[in-house]
Amino acid sequence: MENLFVTFLNIIWVGDTLITSGDDGFLYLWEKFRIIRRIFAHEGAITALHANSKLGLIVSGGMEGVVTLWRLLTEQKSNVKSLERLKTYNLRKGISDP
């Protein structure tokens, strides 16, 4: 198993789910004291992270000039949590991807 050394730059709560962003470009979903999901989000450090807990929406921003809108999903039967990428905005190029 690889050693994982990450500096966490942001921390948010969406309901009872803790989400952190790292300097490695990944978002981390936590359950209690352990990482349950690691999701690639940006090329490089994620410097901005915000959530609307009522809607279950998350916005992340990276050093590469990209802002992404996410939805927190929880599978009903297994209670497994993940993130769905809804929209990506490339602020450097003025392009938005569906």
CA distance 43 to 31: 25
Which of the four pLDDT bands, split at 50, 70 and 90, describes residue 1? very low
Fold of 8-97: Thrombin, subunit H (2.40.10)
Domain ranges of the chain: 8-97
- For 29-79, the pLDDT digits (tens) are 998 889 999 999 999 999 999 999 889 899 999 999 999 999 999 887 767
State the average pLDDT over residues 7-27.
93
Instruction: Judge if pTM exceeds 0.95.
Output: no
Can you list the pairs that 17-21 forms with residues at least 24 positions away whose Cβ atoms lie under 8 Å? 17/72, 17/81, 19/49, 19/51, 19/58, 19/72, 20/49, 21/46, 21/47, 21/49, 21/60
State the average pLDDT over residues 15-35.
92
Q: Of 2-6, 19-23, 78-82, where does the model show the most confidence?
A: 19-23
**66, burial (CB in 10 Å: exposed 0-12, middle 13-18, buried 19+):** buried
